[in-house]
Structure 1
Amino acid sequence: MTQLFAPWTTTRSRTVRRAHFWIPGERVSLGDKTYQRGPMYVEWEAPEQVTRQWPIVLMHGGGFQGTEWFDTPDGRPGWAQRLVEAGYAVLVVDRPGHGRSPYHVDVMGTMGPPFSYEGGRHIYFAGDDPRHTQWPFASDEESAIDEFIAGYGPLPADLEASETMDADRTAELLDRIGPAILITHSASGPDGWLIADRRPHLVKAIAAIEPMGPPFAEIPNIGPMRWGPTAAPLSFEPPAASPDDLRNATPGTYALPALDDLPILIVTAEASEFAAASPPTAAFLNACGASAELMDLADHDVRGNGHGLIYEMNSDDALVPVLEWLRLRTEAAREDVVL
């Protein structure tokens, strides 16, 4: 007999405000018809009283969707709810072509490869590293694996075009809502640098959770990071004529003025092989005039995590030092506000 699954019977009630809206894409003409290219779905939630000055925009990783911020694979509240409980208005996006943001090859270009079970196991599950102890279900728990992989889809084959759409739509989101904090994960990490480059006055801080990298890497099944920490071009000063000029330049030759004085945190996990990409990413940004800080969660006694730290068994603990960093970098010398 199938066991009934009724999570609403065990989840405590809470009072929040929530809704959704869309950031539309461009109109494109194909033959005698007009279509929309790359809209972005935005779902927001806020406590009855918002006590934090800046809202937080949560951006999901590669191939996944905004649901990765809502709940963990073992049914606990995710970072989105915890941030609302901490007093923030929270906006969760489905990046263009992911989740509820529709994709069609005729208007958005070729899809990349589908997301495989093997890829999911390699990226997230405990492998040969005995330190990785926080993944929330066993590797042979097939029904749990099925449900986890179900949320994944293909990325656009053109990484530069995908990042450009992400950054353009999120810049429009900030134009609509005003200044905000960005929290990115994995493949959306480069989006954070691109969005700040487009709207430096509207990005108040970036917390990048194991951002995709390192600079100039060829990311398997995703694409090349041609412009250092991004696949899409940034506004370097002086302008970089080509990716090769940027790659071959002495560190410090090029600056990124939009990142000057912007609080940036790059978070890494103890047992994630993807953590190795973060120090060179921070070094590149800092050589361009940024002030990116590295946070190894193990230094805060948050241990046993892999790349999926935002929904592993100690995800609440992993959020604590990030929240403290945000408080120190964005709320210093400020009275609490109620909105």
Structure 2
Amino acid sequence: MSDQKQIHSSSLRTSPLLVSEIGSFHVGGEMLSLHGMPLRERISTNQGAVHRVNPNGEIIAGQMYVQYVKLERPTARWPLLLWHGGGMTGVNWETTPDGRPGWQMFFLRAGLDVYVSDAVERGRASWAPYPEVYADAPYFRTAQEAWEETFRFGPAGSWHRDPASRHPHDGVRFPVDQMEAFMNQFAPRWATNNERTQRAYDALVDKLDGSIILTHSQGGNFGLTAALHAPDRVKAVISLEPSGAPTADGNNAAALRHVPHLFVWGDYLDQHSFWVDSVPKVRRWHDALAAAGTDVEWIDLPARGIKGNSHALMADDNSDDIAMIVLDWLRRRGFAA
């Protein structure tokens, strides 16, 4: 990074914010009726009275939680929507596991209003009964799966319960001594809620006059699909290591000719089978966009000499540098001052 960019990046980390509004809302839910469930008994608090509960009746399900921070004087016309990955929540964007300000603060300091979501079934979006509404039980991510596969902190066989016996990839940029703090962020996920989640994200996009979508991992497919569903409202799409993408067959990439797309990829992708299988599928959608005349860029960080980045790009020790690459991309297209 040049000296000028280093100075500017430092100012983004320290400049004060003038905030006009902080708030939140839910979007995307629907009322459902539950029937045939047995009565239950509950004690609401220690030493409290027994309360008979009838779980039958109406509930809301499929809602998504959205928190927004609006600046007093934003320098960007369109807000930035931060969408998390699978088994995670919006906390990924707020503060890194080792305590540094996250991308929410970075882009607020860069002059954009920021919306952080907890998607359907995650965090403050709440759950719904299963199998009555969610058709199956949730999955819970283990440390080994995160370390050795999804987040690429270390090769196969390198995870150990004892921190002293873990063997991360040489040069990995994730602060591996904060693995336990990162595990605190894991949330259960269901394999049956893709349609509900897409509807909720689409409802968020429809609620705003226009927006820039920045996604991570599982959120990538939702963001790329949301752009297809609302190409007039989605102004740009930034995908950090999306784990999936729309298929070129059956989707009209030409509808996104005027919506710039950016894909950003870290290191060690060829050493983990999940990513060996996933990246080519995303590449095919990138190629379809390019063939349609879309302004689309594919950034391979190691090819730029930026090595060691894990799947947790927003939490790696050079996360501000990666955010600066994204910000520069937005600036060159007139989306940020």
TM-score (normalizing by structure 1): 0.75
1:323 aligns with 2:327: yes
Kindly indicate whether the alpha-carbon contact (under 8 Å) linking 1:181 and 1:203 is maintained by their aligned counterparts in 2.
Answer: yes
SS at match of 1:294: strand
Runs (4+) of structure 1 exceeding 6 A deviation are: none
State the match for 2:187 in structure 1: 153
Q: Which runs of 5+ in 2 are unaligned?
A: 1-13, 36-55, 156-167
Q: Which moved more, 1:92-101 or 1:102-111?
A: 102-111
State the match for 1:266 in structure 2: 263
Q: Which runs of 5+ in 1 are unaligned?
A: 1-10, 139-143, 214-228, 241-253
State the match for 1:97 in structure 2: 121
1:166 aligns with 2:201: no
Kindly indicate whether the alpha-carbon contact (under 8 Å) linking 1:134 and 1:312 is maintained by their aligned counterparts in 2.
Answer: yes
Identity of counterpart residues, as a percentage?
A: 30
Q: Which moved more, 1:52-61 or 1:295-304?
A: 295-304
- CA shift for structure 1 position 90: 0.3
1: distance between equivalents of 2:217 and 2:253? 21
1:124 aligns with 2:144: no
State the match for 2:99 in structure 1: 75
Kindly indicate whether the alpha-carbon contact (under 8 Å) linking 2:95 and 2:102 is maintained by their aligned counterparts in 1.
Answer: yes
Kindly indicate whether the alpha-carbon contact (under 8 Å) linking 2:18 and 2:73 is maintained by their aligned counterparts in 1.
Answer: no
2: distance between equivalents of 1:331 and 1:267? 18
- CA shift for structure 1 position 282: 2.9
- CA shift for structure 1 position 107: 2.3
Amino acid paired to 1:149: M
Q: Which moved more, 1:79-88 or 1:261-270?
A: 261-270
Kindly indicate whether the alpha-carbon contact (under 8 Å) linking 1:268 and 1:296 is maintained by their aligned counterparts in 2.
Answer: yes
State the match for 2:6 in structure 1: none
1:187 to 218, 227, 242: 218
1:133 to 163, 166, 172: 172
For residues 102-160 of structure 1, the C-alpha deviation after alignment (integer angstroms, 9 at most, x for no partner) is: 1122323323321111112123353247554311133xxxxx433321221222122xx
2:206 to 155, 175, 183: 175
**Pairing of 1:293-304 with structure 2 (within 5 A):** 293-304=297-308
2: distance between equivalents of 1:150 and 1:49? 35
1: distance between equivalents of 2:185 and 2:169? 27
Amino acid paired to 1:107: V
- CA shift for structure 1 position 170: 1.8
CA shift in 2, pair 1:116/1:130, >3 Å: closer
- CA shift for structure 1 position 320: 1.0
Kindly indicate whether the alpha-carbon contact (under 8 Å) linking 2:86 and 2:218 is maintained by their aligned counterparts in 1.
Answer: yes
2: distance between equivalents of 1:255 and 1:88? 30
Kindly indicate whether the alpha-carbon contact (under 8 Å) linking 2:257 and 2:293 is maintained by their aligned counterparts in 1.
Answer: yes
Amino acid paired to 2:285: F
For residues 58-88 of structure 1, the C-alpha deviation after alignment (integer angstroms, 9 at most, x for no partner) is: 0001000000000001100001100000000
Amino acid paired to 2:298: L
- CA shift for structure 1 position 192: 1.1
CA shift in 2, pair 1:323/1:176, >3 Å: same
SS at match of 1:205: strand
Q: Which moved more, 1:84-93 or 1:295-304?
A: 295-304
- CA shift for structure 1 position 95: 0.7
Amino acid paired to 1:110: D
Kindly indicate whether the alpha-carbon contact (under 8 Å) linking 2:28 and 2:199 is maintained by their aligned counterparts in 1.
Answer: no
Kindly indicate whether the alpha-carbon contact (under 8 Å) linking 1:302 and 1:317 is maintained by their aligned counterparts in 2.
Answer: no
**Pairing of 1:190-339 with structure 2 (within 5 A):** 190-213=221-244, 229-230=245-246, 240=250, 255-272=252-269, 273=272, 276=276, 277-278=278-279, 280-287=281-288, 289=292, 291=294, 292-331=296-335
- CA shift for structure 1 position 304: 1.9
1:33 to 57, 69, 72: 57
State the match for 1:111 in structure 2: 137
CA shift in 2, pair 1:263/1:13, >3 Å: closer
What's the C-alpha RMSD, in Å, of the aligned pairs?
2.6
Kindly indicate whether the alpha-carbon contact (under 8 Å) linking 2:64 and 2:117 is maintained by their aligned counterparts in 1.
Answer: yes
CA shift in 2, pair 1:24/1:62, >3 Å: same
SS at match of 2:218: helix
- CA shift for structure 1 position 19: 1.4
TM-score (normalizing by structure 2): 0.75
2: distance between equivalents of 1:98 and 1:60? 10
1: distance between equivalents of 2:122 and 2:23? 19
State the match for 1:51 in structure 2: 75
CA shift in 2, pair 1:62/1:315, >3 Å: same
Larger Rg, first or second structure (1 or 2) = 2
CA shift in 2, pair 1:186/1:132, >3 Å: farther
Q: Which moved more, 1:281-290 or 1:53-62?
A: 281-290
1: distance between equivalents of 2:58 and 2:79? 34
1: distance between equivalents of 2:287 and 2:258? 11
